[in-house]
Chain A
Amino acid sequence: MAKPKKPRTHAPDPAGAAARLPWQPPAPPVPTALLISLAALLVRVLVSVGPYSGQGAAPKFGDYEAQRHWMELTLHLPPSDWYRNTSDNNLSYWGLDYPPLSAYQSLFHGRIINASLPDAVALRSSRGYESPESLGLTLGAIAGVLSRNDLFAAALFTLAINHKQMSLYFAPAFFSHLLGKCLKRKYPIAEVMKLAFVVLGTFALVWWPFLHSYEAALQVISRLAPFERGIYEDYVANFWCSTSVFIKWKRLFVIKPLKLMSLSATILAFLPSFVHQVKSPSNLGFLYSLMNSSFSFYLFSYQVHEKSILLPLLPASLLALKEPQMYGWFVYFALFSMYPLICRDQLLLQYIAILGLFFLIYYSPGGSHGKRLNISCRAKVVLSLPFLCSFLLHFTYLQIEPPKRYPFLFDALIMFICFSQFVLLTLYTNYKQWMLDTHSRSVGVKKDL
């Protein structure tokens, strides 16, 4: 649910207009940041009054119930039982499947709610699934890297991984960038050792309750990587799901080769950007590489969920000033890829409002969206085609009953369109990352986070 915030942070940047917006310079920076954060928080609060995921959908309800259940678990059980199937902890009913730091957080929230509202009715978040905290930790880590505070960044990023395994999407970028930087220094081995020490230390700290035995740790890990669920779920706009229309991956292969295939495909996909960062690490290149590596995971890794598109969105929003068109395009299709999910959760009204808000902020008065890409007319037509299709699909999906033989026809169409756009986008960002060197050798830090 990190979408509305990012545009807020980036929209009000441009030069003075005839109508001076109150948050434009010379507005004081700290109150302005406060204003933006408050406005972003307001939007979240507003969305939260809508129905939440799985409301009234017995017997498993949804993500909201999962979060509530975790609070209950962590509050009442000792840490050693958190990930184990015991009489009190039935893992098939929303067993804990996030890393320990997340569990600690559940415990913390549970304590608060336990203190104030024993009935535990307060925490209502319509899509509190893609928890912004781990994205926040990652964001902190990126800020650390950009301001050359590598050790701190490594620690924060380790925390992020321990909060949600999903943060691994960014790992190749972090790894390659830090490695590339270390190799450029005087004593590469010592630098790498230092980083390794920090990372392992942080890991040990977080995993402390589970380290007493090998089994306990293994139990946690097996909960975190649920391979039994299959290579894809529903209609996620990634490679495996999109091609499954032609090649029935699930039928052709058992789990093991599929795992290997997805792993190698993912590695192949992020390899170019990885190599680039090891070879010539730069701040801007790092941001592109973050986007590329998370995209490669989204497109090719095992068991991807629709909501994971939020992970590439984070670096994309950091690149928003550099690539405004790409960003607007991406946000639109990222939201669109979650459209079936949103309809299922009955959040259509919220979807419209959020999409509207995003584009209003994107085209805020006084914005510098005047500078258009120099693309030819034909390219424009080609690009506007998927846009038009998606626009029509919005209505079709709601109004027209799909044919009996293909009940998920429109879901599949949405998936195809988004997949094609995502592939285009990642090709584009890979290209841009490699072109960085040829354009300018030294790109300074322009991003202030």
Chain B
Amino acid sequence: MAASTSPPAAAAWAFAVATCVKLLLVPTYHSTDFDVHRYWLALTHALPARQWYTDASSQWTLDYPPFFAYFSRLLALPAPLVDGTLVSIPVPDAPPFTHLLYLRLTVAFSDLLLLGSVLLLARDARQRQRPFLALALVLWSPALLAVDHVHFQYNGFLMGLLLLSLYFLEQGWDLAGGVVFASLLCSKHLFLVAAPVYFIYLFRHYCCGRGVVKGLGRLVLMGAGVAAVFAAAFAPFMYYGQIQQLFNRLFPFGRGLCHAYWAPNFWVFYIILDKVLAFLLRRLGFNIAIPEASFTGGLVGDSSPFAVLPKVTPITTFLLVILAMTPCLVKAFSNPQPKYIIRWVSYACTCGFIFGWHVHEKASLHFTIPLALIAMDRLKDARHYFLLSIASCYSLFPLLFENQEYPIKVMLLLTYTTLMWVGFTSHFAANSDQEGKKVNRSGSTVMKNGFIGWIGLSYLLGIAAIELWSQVFHHRVFGDRLPFLPLIMVSFYCGIGMMYSWMWQLVYIVRHT
């Protein structure tokens, strides 16, 4: 019998299934991110590194850190064998199908790193086998499929790096974990938000508690490792004297608080509160000027867009993120344990998502993917992940706005939801059978209240209602007026779920870690 398949083998199988789905997704819609990466591919292949951050022959200038540029260079290596025009500058405006196919395949190929990390993570910090479903939830994530394989980005590769560093930390190989995280930072600087947790954890877990001399030695070792990574990334550009130029590209100040489509985070509520207050005060007779900068138009300038509430600056958001993260940092400082690291890092990314400056909705991947790995640890986790993954995936729906992809995104989400429902209920029912009557409570709650309870269920039904409204009734009621209302509703409603997830994680970390 071939029945003795281990979870890693099953995970490889799940990855192969996902790859078939990715192949089917090749002809779908792709965003301007496709043009961005196509240009980077050509840029890094055709021009020397000296010009990577100075070339402005396209509007899609390179604005990721150097490791990602190296990665693009790597992916461009076999390109001339396929089609010479793939890597020639300037890139053709209308890409032929071979270009699309090649780039799509590079995304699918770079997902191999994600598979590798997931295979390593098949055992957790206590060397127990993770259930197959937890691994499959990562590999089959509809959000990842939609963003990477339809919208077009390389998040699978980046998440692979993040998970790899988490794996090293879970196994207690702190130096390797730190170095991998440093290289992740040099690939995409958005992960900087997780750096405080890494820093405190590594300092306490790797350096402290072993005497002064040894501790100092380790501190130096870790510092040297991380510095070497950063040197590999940035030294060439420092040599060219382009470091200022590089940083201007990486941190383009002057962007607004929100992205064109509002990510479902705290600021949605802040903006809406501002609008409501302004409306009420105007009714009460106060003279409230209508702010020039408008959110609904998606153009966010430098003038304050708020009518009543104080203006939000990048510094404010930065302080808020740190403040929100503090309980987790305290926990990581006082009791640094490998088994909690996934939770802590996910929580840090959540804080960045909820309170950060100019957050993209896609950033919710950064914590939903790691959280999938621990989604089956307890019933509570499963419930939380169930809600979070649906809300975050639904918040990505506006990314794929064309008619052709509509059935795809809906079916992806529905299939994933059913998979979680089937998997979670049967998993916890089976486990409560095995563990006997003593811990049967969790099992019986699965049966009694349904799986998520009535609040969660009504929240999810609300998502269906919002979708129905924006697809059918909005047009009937308002016609062409208020075109952004459905988007705001999606942001707002998913924001509720995101805020819940943030608070849930916070409470869990304070109580249980």
Chain A residues packing against B (C-beta within 8 Å)? 14-23, 25-28, 31-32, 34-35, 38-39, 41-43, 45-51, 121-122, 124, 349-350, 352-354, 356-357, 360-361, 363-371
Contact = CB atoms under 8 A, between A and B. Distances in A.
A41 B411 CA distance: 7
B418 A357 contact: no
B132 interface: yes
18 contacts: A18-B6, A18-B7, A20-B131, A21-B10, A22-B422, A28-B422, A35-B422, A42-B408, A45-B408, A47-B24, A49-B405, A349-B26, A349-B27, A360-B13, A365-B5, A368-B1, A368-B3, A370-B1
B224 interface: no
B4 A43 contact: no
Nearest to B8: A19
Contact of A38 (B4, B404, B418): B418
Nearest to B424: A22
A25 B28 CA distance: 36
Contacts of A17: 3-5, 10
Grouping DSSP codes into helix (H, G, I), strand (E, B) and loop, the A interface class, with mixed when no group exceeds half, is loop
Nearest to A14: B3
Nearest to A51: B27
Sort chain B's interface into a size bin: 35 or more
Nearest to B472: A116
A349 B3 contact: no
B426 interface: yes
Contacts of B423: 22-23, 27
Contacts of A121: 403
Contacts, number: 140
Given A31-B422, A38-B414, 19 more contacts: A15-B1, A18-B4, A18-B6, A19-B7, A19-B132, A22-B133, A22-B419, A28-B422, A38-B415, A45-B411, A49-B28, A49-B405, A356-B16, A357-B17, A360-B17, A361-B17, A365-B5, A367-B2, A369-B2
Contacts of B9: 19, 365
Contacts of A47: 24
A177 to B, nearest CB: 35
Interface in B398-457: 403-405, 407-408, 411-412, 414-415, 418-419, 421-423, 425-427, 429-430
B25 interface: yes
A26 to B, nearest CB: 5
A25 B430 CA distance: 9
A366 B10 contact: yes
B2 A370 contact: yes
Grouping DSSP codes into helix (H, G, I), strand (E, B) and loop, the B interface class, with mixed when no group exceeds half, is helix
Contacts of B2: 365-370
A16 B3 contact: yes
Contact of B5 (A41, A45, A366): A366
Interface string B92-127: 000000000100000000000000000000000000
B238 interface: no
B434 to A, nearest CB: 11
B403 A122 contact: yes
A19 B10 contact: yes
The 10 closest A-B pairs by CB, nearest first: A22-B423, A365-B5, A46-B24, A19-B10, A353-B23, A27-B426, A365-B10, A19-B132, A42-B411, A370-B1
B20 interface: yes
Nearest to A48: B407
A127 B393 CA distance: 30
Contact of A35 (B3, B10, B407, B418): B418
Contact of B421 (A14, A26, A31, A353): A31
A22 B427 contact: yes
Given A357-B20, A360-B17, A367-B2, A23 B10 contact: no
Given A19-B132, A49-B404, A368-B3, A32 B422 contact: yes
B47 interface: no
A27 B411 contact: no
A36 to B, nearest CB: 9
B426 A28 contact: yes
A349 B23 contact: yes
B136 interface: yes
B468 interface: no
Nearest to A15: B3
B429 A26 contact: yes
B319 interface: no
B506 to A, nearest CB: 29
Q: Select the residue from B5, B7, B101, B403 with max chain A CB neighbours within 10 A.
A: B5
Nearest to A116: B472
Q: Select the residue from A50, A352, A353, A369 with max chain B CB neighbours within 10 A.
A: A353
B454 to A, nearest CB: 18
Nearest to A17: B3
Nearest to B9: A365
Contacts of A361: 17
A19 B429 CA distance: 16
A92 B140 CA distance: 47
Contacts of A369: 2
A147 to B, nearest CB: 26
A45 B9 CA distance: 28
Contacts of B5: 17-19, 365-366
A16 B2 CA distance: 11
Contacts of B408: 42, 45-46, 49
B481 to A, nearest CB: 21
B369 to A, nearest CB: 18
Contacts of B13: 360, 363-365
B281 interface: no
A27 B6 CA distance: 19
Contacts of A21: 10, 132-133
Contacts of B405: 49
Contacts of B131: 20
A38 B17 contact: no
B21 interface: yes
Contacts of B133: 21-22
B422 A27 contact: yes
Nearest to B6: A18
Contacts of A367: 2-3
Nearest to A367: B2
Given A21-B10, A349-B26, A366 B3 contact: yes
B422 A19 contact: no
Q: Select the residue from A46, A50, A350, A369 with max chain B CB neighbours within 10 A.
A: A46
Nearest to B13: A365
Given A17-B4, A45-B407, A350 B422 contact: no
A15 B403 CA distance: 42
Interface in B221-254: none
B439 to A, nearest CB: 17
Q: Select the residue from A34, A38, A43, A122 with max chain B CB neighbours within 10 A.
A: A38
Contact of A46 (B16, B17, B21, B422): B21
Contact of A31 (B10, B24, B407, B425): B425
Contacts of B418: 31, 34-35, 38
